[in-house]
Amino acid sequence: MIKSAAAKNLDNEEFKLLENNSARVTFKKGEIIFKQDALSLNIAYLREGLVKIHMKGPSHEKILRVMKAPSFLGIPTSMGEKINQFSATALEDTTVCFIDSNVFKNFIYTNGKFAYEVILELCRNELFDYQRYASMAQKQVPGLVAETLICFSDKIYGQDHFNIPLSRSDMADLIGTSRESVSRVLSDLNNEKIIEIDSNEIRILNKDLLKQISEKG
């Protein structure tokens, strides 16, 4: 029942072919969905849940992106390489459909509207990454933490009260700073009554001021 924008452009026969060449798998929080350097044979479609995309670097792993359902995972690595170039791990209980790569590629070749929606999703993700990397290069830690909280509020949960699925260390890794710096900024925002923190539970109390901190960096 939960179709991607691309799959909505398949006719009944094509969608049946898609169903017959895919497998639905449920992952618990913390379980690896696919692993970097492993052979890639499928396109992963995030049907339900929340996932972090991360990559091994010279000294440690780097969180590249947090993705919520519905969305495709790993199209660049599955279409461009035979080996996964990054990993995906569930941040909460998550359901993923694994689609045979050859069937997926055939839809790209034969169904222009399907291909267009896939390209559109890739473009949106790429633009979001560009904006985030520009922020990381130009903003100070308070601005990056504020930006991250607003992103979770607006783009992931759609509300100002949520349980952030990342540890302080993961949040630091996502924005490119230290765990201590993230903890200090969160504590300052809490003390100034901009947010309210109870463990991983976040309530944004003054969103306008939080946005100002994010914009000024």
- Bridge partners of 95? 26, 48
**Does residue 144 share a domain with residue 124?**
no
Same domain, 22 and 104: yes
User: In this structure, are 123 and 40 located in the same domain?
Assistant: yes
Prediction pTM value: 0.86
For residue 217, is pLDDT > 80? no
Question: CA 9 to CA 115: how far, in whole Å?
Answer: 9
If one counts the domains in the chain, the total is: 2
How many angstroms separate the CA atoms of 57 and 166, rounded?
Answer: 20
Q: CATH no. for residue 120?
A: 2.60.120.10
Does any domain span residue 151?
yes
Same domain, 160 and 130: no
Do 26 and 88 belong together in one domain?
yes
Residue 142 has pLDDT above 60, yes or no: yes
Residue 1 counted as domain residue: no
Q: Is residue 34 part of a domain?
A: yes
Residue where a domain terminates, one of 87, 114, 134: 134
CATH number at residue 190: 1.10.10.10
The answer to whether the CB of 162 falls within 8 A of the CB of 202 is yes
In a domain, 145, yes or no: yes
Whether 118 maps to a domain, the answer reads yes
Question: Given this model, what pLDDT does residue 207 score?
Answer: 95
Q: Do 151 and 209 sit in the same domain of this protein?
A: yes
Whether 195 is in a domain gets the answer: yes
CB 78, CB 101: distance < 8 Å: yes
Residue 2 maps to a domain: no
Rg from Cα positions in the chain: 19
Q: Which of 8, 18, 2 is nearest to 114 (CA)?
A: 8
Helices 112-138 and 141-151, packing angle to 10 deg = 150
Q: How far apart are CA 114 and CA 16, in angstroms?
A: 15
Q: Are 21 and 126 in a shared domain?
A: yes
Which amino acid belongs to residue 82? Answer: K
**Final residue belonging to a domain, choices 110, 134, 158:** 134
Same domain, 126 and 143: no
Q: Residue 212's closest CA among 196, 192, 183?
A: 192
Question: Domain check: are 188 and 205 in the same one?
Answer: yes
| Whether 126 and 161 share a structural domain | no
- Which residues does 69 contact at the CB level (< 8 Å), separation at least 6? 2, 46, 47, 48, 49, 50, 94, 95
Q: What is the pLDDT of residues 1-13, one digit of tens each?
A: 466 778 888 888 9
Angle, helix 101-110 to helix 112-138, in steps of 10 degrees: 110
Residues 61 and 41 in one domain: yes
Query: Rounded mean pLDDT of the chain?
Result: 91
pLDDT tens for 34-80 read: 999 998 888 999 999 999 999 998 878 899 999 999 999 978 777 77
- For residue 96, tell me if it sits in a domain: yes
> What are 22-32's pLDDT values in tens digits?
999 999 999 99
What range does the domain containing 182 cover? Answer: 139-216
Write the DSSP assignment of 166-210 as a string of letters: S-HHHHHHHHTS-HHHHHHHHHHHHHTTSEEEETTEEEES-HHHH
Residues 211, 112 share a domain: no
- Chosen domain end from 101, 134, 167: 134
